[in-house]
Structure 1
């Protein structure tokens, strides 16, 4: 057995990890549902069941090309940038609504905290941003990321929105949801908003983006939701804000604090905002099952482009850096390059819904698999019950009027006599 020459370097050990490769989605593994959760976050509460997967529209929302589960680029486009680890993504023009390129655009993934954009839309619709609210211990103790609310702290809804959008505060999400009627009511309103926008891959299970039974969205839907939010000047200003002063809160004797918590400087956690020329801001997200999610936008040469990333990772580069590479790719494409479109809210309902209208009160619709849709069946039953009630009330009113008329006629006869 020979020996190595003096001064020779030892051979490099074999690699211990699999080299990075962009996830393959060509066979549509997430067409109906996200991949299985890696924890117990989506196990239903005792006595409850997980909702079924959302129905898949018969036609892809935004155009036939977006039905593809792999990579979709315009004819003649250059190769996509390397090192994009996101499993699904969409690159779109915020102004025209054109989808410039995509990968598994309608694949269903967990959105994590980027779903807070949907909560922000509901808040902007329904709450007075100048109104103040007092944070509760439940707000302050909520699971996950926190902006730093404290029990007894007084905050305007605008400040809560800053905590929601800039720092992804689950505590801010909880405090805002409480004003919308509580978590369940806020989730219902968020899901109704998603449907109204044509985001039919989306069903949230929490206001903050914490995973729960039935949670799903898609890169396409998040681009649609983000585009709607960016049309609101208040939201656009919030995500582009780098730093604001945020209030403190009074000491809590129950946890032996000796002094009040002072106010502090709240910084935006989106690194694209600080590191990309023309960045307009965006939103970050992460849970153990969702992995890295990201939404970001930038303006250049009169164009505003946005990127949404789903089920990504920090390898080989961070999500904001992946978004930056896709933005560079999009700005280099000729104006008018497109593989689809983000539908407008006004046109979303007639072109996206695959559930037929209720034809009669006694005949609930079915989903594409031929099974009765429980929600639609419940709505049909309610309509039927409501119709029967109206008929009964109608007969009662008519009967009462007849009796009243007879009494008045009899009284008149008595007077004449």
Structure 2
């Protein structure tokens, strides 16, 4: 990994500030922020030899090379913001390996009545997990998120799994309090973490399918099906766009993570806390990323997940024999014959479901969806 050298600069509000040799070395210090010391800056950090960065109104962003993990440019990358529906990436990354995508589930009334963006689930056992995951990532279904959490054993267990997965990925700015990203005190993420989570998700074929599907059919009661379209406005419009997820709430404002692949290379852009429309700005940041990758010094890196620790084998010969058990009282030996107890394994059937897009037939009035689309 090549970090910005001593002559590299940070584009801050007051102008360019040169990075000293000590600051450049701090990018690899153990006490530095995840990904490198320069990523602890609140302002824009980029190699001064690079082309000028496109303008963006986002409070935080990251442009990264997904193949090498190099962070090419960033602004307040570890600043903690409300993630809105971009948190659903973590929900998907967590639950895809845990749930059988072919299983049917029956969502609860609570799941069917979640506020915000929804696909219109009804309490019938007609939904498969894989279609709920499509709804989660394509149309930001808050009801689908809760139904998936139920299929995973409940909300508390799912949130514990999500937060454990965030720690495994080293997304340490991320705290999940909901499975759908609806605002809740204590919930947070960062532009760095969103890029990290997206990179992890894109390594999974099912995740890539869900975020890259433009249009899909979903079942409804009575054997009917409805059609829904992906909310990602760059999918099919920006060359090489793969996904991933947008979000919006009144407190979080706009957020988006996008990944595109060209010439065998993938670039990820994440933006957070954007007051207006970010689509054109994301396109320009992606263009900048493709033009800059391999030609600029990295300012940090998207780190790898924490490795799984495997049990170690004993060294130096066989383990010592266990000490003999003390003799049992005679009465106990006579009254209690030894009984062998076998351990059995219990397989948990994780049930899934599919989603239903209701065309204008919702029982609740909503002023705005969580992802920023009008209802």
Give secondary structure in 1 for the equivalent of 2:168.
helix
8 A Cα contact 1:149 1:249, kept in partner: no
Corresponding residue number in structure 1 for 2:113 = 141
Corresponding residue number in structure 1 for 2:299 = 339
Say yes or no: does 1:239 pair with 2:199. Answer: no
Query: What TM-score, normalized to structure 1?
Result: 0.67
RMSD value over aligned CA atoms?
Answer: 2.7
Q: Which residue of 143, 146, 151 maps to 2:123?
A: 151
Higher strand proportion (structure 1 or 2)? 2
CA distance in 1, matches of 2:333, 2:226: 75
Q: How many residues align?
A: 297
CA distance in 2, matches of 1:281, 1:126: 22
Give secondary structure in 2 for the equivalent of 1:324.
helix
**Larger Cα Rg: Structure 1 or Structure 2?**
1
Q: How far does residue 332 in structure 1 lie from its aligned partner after superposition?
A: 1.2
CA distance in 2, matches of 1:200, 1:156: 32
Q: 1:408 to 1:303 in 2, by over 3 A?
A: closer
CA distance in 2, matches of 1:221, 1:339: 16
Higher RCO by CA contacts (8 Å cutoff, separation 6 or greater) = 2
Q: Which residue of 273, 280, 287 maps to 1:311?
A: 273
Give secondary structure in 1 for the equivalent of 2:122.
coil
Q: How far does residue 149 in structure 1 lie from its aligned partner after superposition?
A: 1.3
Higher helix proportion (structure 1 or 2)? 1
8 A Cα contact 2:104 2:125, kept in partner: no
Say yes or no: does 1:328 pair with 2:287. Answer: yes
CA distance in 1, matches of 2:295, 2:150: 44
Residue pairs, 1:9-408, within 5 angstroms: 58-82=31-55, 84-152=56-124, 154-250=126-222, 262-314=224-276, 318-335=277-294, 337=296, 338-346=298-306, 401-404=326-329
Give secondary structure in 2 for the equivalent of 1:200.
coil
Gaps of 5+ in 1: 1-21, 27-56, 251-259, 350-396, 410-417
CA distance in 1, matches of 2:152, 2:125: 19
| Structure 1 ranges of 4+ moved more than 2 A | 22-26, 346-349, 401-409
8 A Cα contact 1:149 1:171, kept in partner: yes
Q: How far does residue 404 in structure 1 lie from its aligned partner after superposition?
A: 3.3
Q: How far does residue 184 in structure 1 lie from its aligned partner after superposition?
A: 1.7
Deviations 1:364-402, CA, capped at 9 Å, x for gaps: xxxxxxxxxxxxxxxxxxxxxxxxxxxxxxxxx96xx43
Corresponding residue number in structure 1 for 2:319 = none
Q: How far does residue 339 in structure 1 lie from its aligned partner after superposition?
A: 1.0
Give secondary structure in 1 for the equivalent of 2:179.
coil
CA distance in 1, matches of 2:14, 2:92: 31
Q: 1:304 to 1:333 in 2, by over 3 A?
A: same
Q: How far does residue 75 in structure 1 lie from its aligned partner after superposition?
A: 3.5
